[in-house]
Every structure is written in C-alpha cells, then in structure tokens.
Structure 1
C-alpha cells in the first residue's frame, strides 16, 4: 500500500506524535502537510518534514487530494471544531485527548464521524503504556478477584511549569485540568476495571498558584519555562496572565459496573508520577513507579500486618521514547485502523466517557460538590463505534 498521507495540525508540545507518524517512504505513513499558527514554527516544520503544504489555517488543507488523514494536536478547546471540520471533509482523524472539553462537544464529534463515515481515532496513549497494560492484564487474570474499588493519586510535580505558564491555566481553553490531565487516568481506570463513570462528586480549588506573580498579557512564555530548580512551588514566577483553573482536585466516582473510585490530582508535589491502587474481593495491586523499571506488586494470599513486598512483584517493561514507546504504538494503531479497520485498544466512546467524567466532575467541583450523573450516550451511536465504525447490517 502507499503511505498514509497525514496533515499535522498543531506542532507544539505534542509534536512527538507527528514525528512518530513521519516514517521512511514505504513504511506506512508520512507527514505531507503542516499547520500551525506560529509562522516561524510552521516554516521550520515544513522544512523538517518536507511538507508539500504549510498553512496557518487548517481549513485550507481539508480539500487537498494529497491529504488522507489529519493529526489534530491543537489546544484543547479547538479539538471538537477541527475534528468535526476534518471528518465532514471526509478525512480520517487522529484526535489528541481530550477529544473535547465538554460532553456535548464530545458527542458532536461522534455524530460527525458517524454522519461522514470517516474514521475517528482518539489518542489515549496511556492505553499503550506498559504500566496500564500490565495492571489490566493482572486484573483480567484474576489476581485480585473481582475489582471493587480503585484509588488513584496523581502527583503532578511539574504542574506549575506545564499547566500554569500558558493556555492550560485558562478555563476558556481547557475547562479544567480534570479534562486536560485527568482524562488520561480516568480512561485508564475505566479500561482496567471494565466500567465507565456513571456518577461523580468533586471538591477542589486554586490553592497555591493563584496568588503568584504572573507575566503581563501579550508577553510570551519564557524559552526556559521548565526549571526544576524552582522550589518550593511558591517560588514560581512569570505564570500565565490568566489563571482560573484549579491546582488541587479530589473526586469520588461510581462506575456503571458498581466499582467505586477515588481520584486525587495535585499540581505542586515534589515528585511527578501516578499511583494506582486496585482492590478486589481477593486481593489488591499497586504500582510503585509508572515508567519502565518500576514495579507492580500484588497482595493476594492472606491477611497480615504491613508488608511492603507483597506476594508477587511484576516489573514494568518498555522502551524509552515518547511516553515510553506509547506515542509510537498509538500512531501505529491509528495508521493500521485507517487502512484496515478492525479492533483498536483505544475507543472514541471510551474517550467520550472520560470527557464526560471530567466535565461533570468540574461542574460538581465548582457547584458545591453535588453528586452528578453522567449523561447517557445514544445507544445507536454507541453501537456504531462498538461495531468498528461500521453501520450494523
């Protein structure tokens, strides 16, 4: 087959996806067109990829015969609009997570994909991270019995740098960091235990970064914006001119399969990693580190006092590279799906459910902590995607 010709729309912090998709001729996929609002970036990337088209307006790429698919890695609040336009133009779409910043927009993307028949793939690359795949495997093997509860702690050690120095700090562009950041964890949790959030309740606030010095409007983020020497977090300076998202959030969730879950996210911890604890009716498992070389430990042979070693230890495998190889694998799955169809480990419906959980959690957090129900997805729409984006006969 000829290589899949991809237009990369947005070449900022997720440029690694475009790099993973740009392979040697005859190896499956190439970046043939690029789009970015920054003209300096656009020129440099057009040269790097040898692109035949370079535009600041993505819409000019959608009617090109030499573009088969688009890779959307623009700021979060633009995801739905760009994806809907591309799908409506008949282009296959790789849509970076979160697929949208509200459940209504996520549903609109799903409807557009079905109406056009163009293939939609949402890039939840954590489903291709070995720590998640190994935890899911251990659960499916019955090592802890039937899962009953999940506790997730996300220590976002670089939060002040990654999320409070640019557009990520603005509600208008992300809704909340429970979309931009937590959708990863919520989707992984749903996949591991085989359920989706049905009810959610949340509390949180802007507890540290709200009072720190900000740069003036119109002044760009400094080139050396990531500096681990900034400690404690209150020493951060030149934060985004607008900061109205929370830096601390606590969620309680009930899944549709009865599993109860708790999710905690803090953006000013000294360390940066995710901690999952999954408890079943015959044991529990917990990861120690979330990168290759870390471990997952299982306790499942009986009751006793504190035991740090557990009854089994499983080393997390995986290579180095973008998200420890997950970026390359998620692009490979996308290219295969566009060309051949079939099963994928990611799911547009699951991506919608992660957005729904984050969106409803945000509403609860900002509305007094009420328990809110996730709106159901139209059954025929769910069936279309569960059937591999093919209408049932």
Structure 2
C-alpha cells in the first residue's frame, strides 16, 4: 500500500504532531506544508525532505492530491482553512478548539456533512491515561450514577504560554475560558455523558493586566521565550503581547442536558500546572492527583471524616509520548480514520459542544455572570457524525421513503 500523502498547515510549536506521522515507506508521509514564515518553510525541507511542497497560502494545496491535512494554525484561522479543505474533499484534522465561536463550529460540521468529507478534531485529552482511567472507573460503576463534576485547572505557565503572543488577544481566541477550557469542558461532558445547555461564569483579568511592559513578537514562537524557572512571581513577567484583553481567572458553572451539574475553574498565575477533577456519583467520589507520570486516582465509597487512604487507589499507567502518550494515539486514530472511516474516540460534535459551552460562558462572564442558554447543534449534523460520518439517506417530501425509492 502506498503511503498516505499528508499536508500540514502551520509549522509552529504544535506541528510536532506531524513528526509522528512522517514515516516514508511505513504508511504515511508529509508531502506538503504551508506557513507564512519563510524560515519555518526552509526548515520544513530538513524535516520532511527536499521534495516537500512548501507554500505560504494554504489554497495552493487544495488540489495537490492530499489524502489528509493537519490544520495547526492559530485558533481564529481554523474555520476558514477547514472549510476550504472540506469543500475540496480533503479529510481534515483540526487542532482544538474546532473554532472560536459556536456558529463557526456549526459551519464546519455542516460543510463536512454536505460535502461528505471526513472531519477530525485534535481533542487529545480523550486519549490521556488519567482521563481514560477515570472514564473506565465510572463505567465500572465505582461511584454509581454521576451527578456532579468539578474541575480545577491550575495553569502554572499561563503567563508565558498565553499572554505573550496571539492568545492574549480575544479577537484570536474569544477568550481563554474557551481556548484553554475547550479540553476540560469536553472531558467533563465525556465523563458525565451529556452536554451543557445552561451556563454562567465570572472572572477577570486580575494579574497580567497590571503589567505595562509589552512588545510585538512577530516571527517568534513560544519556545523562544519560555523560561519555566524564571518569570516568578507572575507580576515579574515582562514583554507581554501588545494587546492583552483575555481573562487570567475564570469560574464557570454548567447544567447538562442529562441533569448533571458541573463547574470549571481556570487560573493562569498559579505556581503549579495540572488539572484536578472530582466526580461525585450516587455511590462514591473519585478524584485525580496529578495528570501525567505518577498520577493516581482515588475513590472514596464509605462515609468518614477526611482520610487520605481512599477505598480504592488506581495508578495511572505511564505511556511514552507527548501529553501523557495521548498524541501518538491521536494521530494514529486520524490516519486510521482517513483510511477506513467509522467512529472515533474524539468527536467533532463533542468538540463543537465544548466550544459552544465555553463561548456561552465567556458571554456570561463579560455580561455580569448572567445565565446563558447553550444552543444544540443542527440535528442533521449530529446524526451524521453519530453515524460515523456516513452520508444519510435523503427523505422524500411526501412518502417518507428515501429519495431514490425502495
């Protein structure tokens, strides 16, 4: 079998994903790439071979015979680029978030359905061992029926990661409650077995907005300025993005369509960097301590005062690869999906629902914490993706039979 011919749009930090699939002679290879930075394009020839097609406009790749494309560009560009390739019939991997508005996500889902083009979203946390272990414990009935989920997200390197480049400008992200929170909102939905339909939120720019030192970083990447051992405490940071108008602290509440209640808290100036989930059911509670190597999940099933010795302690397996071993599994699922189709662990509809909840919560946060309804997706889009992205039969206007007759 010939290698899958793949393209990549965006050669920044997240393009480490495509290094995992560039295996000439072993099933897949990168044959085309796009970026506006000529330096990165020159380096692409060293990464993928001198014969790689390198362009500055993604539209130059629409008719280049690609079997699939990775869209790894800044968030606000996902929609337009994704639509172009979906309409051209090229299977698309879009990094999370799917888009920065609910309407943008819906346009992508509809385009994939109408053109019959496969769409995949890079929600790698669905492959993270700590998340899959929590989901399995819930499926095994360890805590009974899920009724509440709380997630605290300590973003210890937030100042370096999100306030020195395009992430800090809400025009590019809507806000970090959506941009960074899309992962956790999706995990909350997945663990709960439902989607948010009512949300509210509060928060603000409470630390980094007080830093006056700013400068433009065109041509730089996060790895150029990241210094985890430095830049502490947070107010010591210098040279933030010229525009900083996203929140560094946010707190969100959710009511899901299956009756589960959830909350999500995100802070970008903590000293530590990890996620802590608590899931409460009718027969117990589970909580993760750590979310990467060495993490454990503890389950309490008996009444007591505080005790560290949980009734069940689950050791999270250590797997090789970035993001707890999730990234290699993620890209292999995409390659399989290109080749054979079918359902995937990640879900474009779920990705849309995470953005929709985060978008509505951001609207709430910026309007005094009012309750905001989260609109469901188009039923036709939801049915298409729930069916494994298999085109559904059309229905005749009167008989209820398929348009082609019996």
TM superposition score normalised by structure 1: 0.97
SS of match in other structure, 1:14: helix
User: What RMSD in Å do the two structures reach over aligned CA positions?
Assistant: 1.3
Distance 1:229 1:316 in 2: 30
Verify the 8 A CA contact 2:156 2:270 in the aligned structure 1: yes
Verify the 8 A CA contact 2:100 2:173 in the aligned structure 1: yes
Verify the 8 A CA contact 1:214 1:238 in the aligned structure 2: yes
Verify the 8 A CA contact 1:162 1:226 in the aligned structure 2: no
SS of match in other structure, 2:215: coil
SS of match in other structure, 1:54: strand
Deviation of 1:13 (Å)? 1.7
Deviation of 1:320 (Å)? 3.3
Distance 1:193 1:141 in 2: 14
Distance 1:117 1:329 in 2: 25
Deviation of 1:158 (Å)? 0.2
Deviation of 1:220 (Å)? 5.7
Aligned to 1:12: 12
SS of match in other structure, 2:225: coil
1:230 aligns with 2:231: yes
SS of match in other structure, 1:391: coil
Deviation of 1:359 (Å)? 0.4
Aligned to 1:259: 260
Aligned to 1:121: 120
Aligned to 1:362: 362
Deviation of 1:298 (Å)? 0.3
1:106 aligns with 2:111: no
Aligned to 1:290: 291
Aligned to 2:248: 247
The alpha-carbon distance between structure 1 residues 218 and 314, as it changes in their structure 2 partners (threshold 3 A), is closer
The alpha-carbon distance between structure 1 residues 218 and 20, as it changes in their structure 2 partners (threshold 3 A), is closer
Distance 2:253 2:376 in 1: 19
Aligned to 1:174: 173
Aligned to 2:334: 334
Deviation of 1:338 (Å)? 1.0
Distance 1:318 1:343 in 2: 26
> Cα deviation per residue 1:268-291 (whole Å; 9 max; x = unaligned)?
000000000000010000000000
Aligned to 1:198: 197
1:87 aligns with 2:75: no
Aligned to 2:68: 69
Flag structure 2 segments of 5+ consecutive residues without an equivalent: 394-406
> Cα deviation per residue 1:289-328 (whole Å; 9 max; x = unaligned)?
000321000001x211101121010111132321121111
Verify the 8 A CA contact 2:102 2:355 in the aligned structure 1: yes
Flag structure 1 segments of 5+ consecutive residues without an equivalent: none
Deviates more, 1:135-144 or 1:312-321: 312-321
The alpha-carbon distance between structure 1 residues 321 and 213, as it changes in their structure 2 partners (threshold 3 A), is farther
Distance 1:355 1:77 in 2: 13
> Cα deviation per residue 1:239-270 (whole Å; 9 max; x = unaligned)?
11110000000001001111100100000000
1:32 aligns with 2:31: yes
Aligned to 2:273: 272
Verify the 8 A CA contact 1:130 1:292 in the aligned structure 2: no
Distance 2:160 2:107 in 1: 32
TM superposition score normalised by structure 2: 0.94
Aligned to 1:349: 349
Equivalent runs, 1:206-221 vs 2, <5 Å:
206-217=205-216, 221=220
Deviation of 1:4 (Å)? 1.4
Distance 1:49 1:220 in 2: 21
Distance 1:390 1:218 in 2: 44
Distance 2:213 2:230 in 1: 18
Distance 1:126 1:376 in 2: 23
1:142 aligns with 2:141: yes
> Cα deviation per residue 1:343-375 (whole Å; 9 max; x = unaligned)?
210011000000101100100000111111111
SS of match in other structure, 2:94: strand
